[in-house]
Amino acid sequence: MTKGGGISNENQGKKMGGQDFIKNKKKMKKNMQRLGGRGGLSLESFANIKARNENYNPSIIKKQREFYKNAKYMKKYKRSLKQHEQPNIPPTDERPLEGENETNERDYVNRNKRSKKNTRSLGKLYEKKREEEEKARMEREATIQAKKEERQKSEARRRALKEKMYKKTKSGQPVMKYRIEHLLETIQGSTT
């Protein structure tokens, strides 16, 4: 310390907020992270140090970096191609130069023709799709109706059979004629 209360040149680098202190602190922090915390290396991490270093291969890392960079460029390229292929580009409000006026008008007319063709083709596609959906709906309704009719017929048959089977004589005995006919039909159906 000097007489005026300032810090001398000797201690200037070692003060608490100095650059040397910050650098040392950063180095200590890096070492702590590398060694695995405050307690130094654990036995397990010490044993695995060599194994971990064998996995480090700069050429593989370089190839991966190159691969991802190429993928990014390809994505950008495909996106730009897609933008160029889109026919429905809205016309801009910019005024063309006098020499370019005719070509720009032709381009504008061509764009309009293309957009009209596209709307027509979209309309046709929409109509086709609607017709197909309508056909599919009609077929579904027809199959449902057929199943319903079949169910009603089988229920009517069962009802008639049930009535015959439960018929009784005046004295309350079952009428055997219908039961024997039913047994005969089932036997004939099983043999054929």
Q: Where are the alpha helices (DSSP H) in the chain?
A: 19-35, 43-47, 49-54, 58-85, 101-165, 176-191
pLDDT above 50 (res 13):
no
Buried b (16+ CB within 10 A) or exposed e, 75-86: eeeeeeeeeeee
Quickly state the pLDDT bin for 102 (edges 50, 70, 90): low
Mean pLDDT for 43-58 is: 67
Is the pTM for the entire model greater than 0.95?
Answer: no
- Considering 38-52, 58-72, 109-123, 135-149, the range whose residues carry the highest mean pLDDT is 135-149
Bigger pLDDT: 85 vs 70: 70
Please report the pLDDT score of residue 122 as a whole number: 80
Closest-CA residue to 88 (of 116, 121, 122): 116
* Average pLDDT rounded to a whole number, residues 184-189: 91
Residue 87's contacts (CB-CB under 8 Å, 6 or more residues apart) are 111, 114, 115, 118
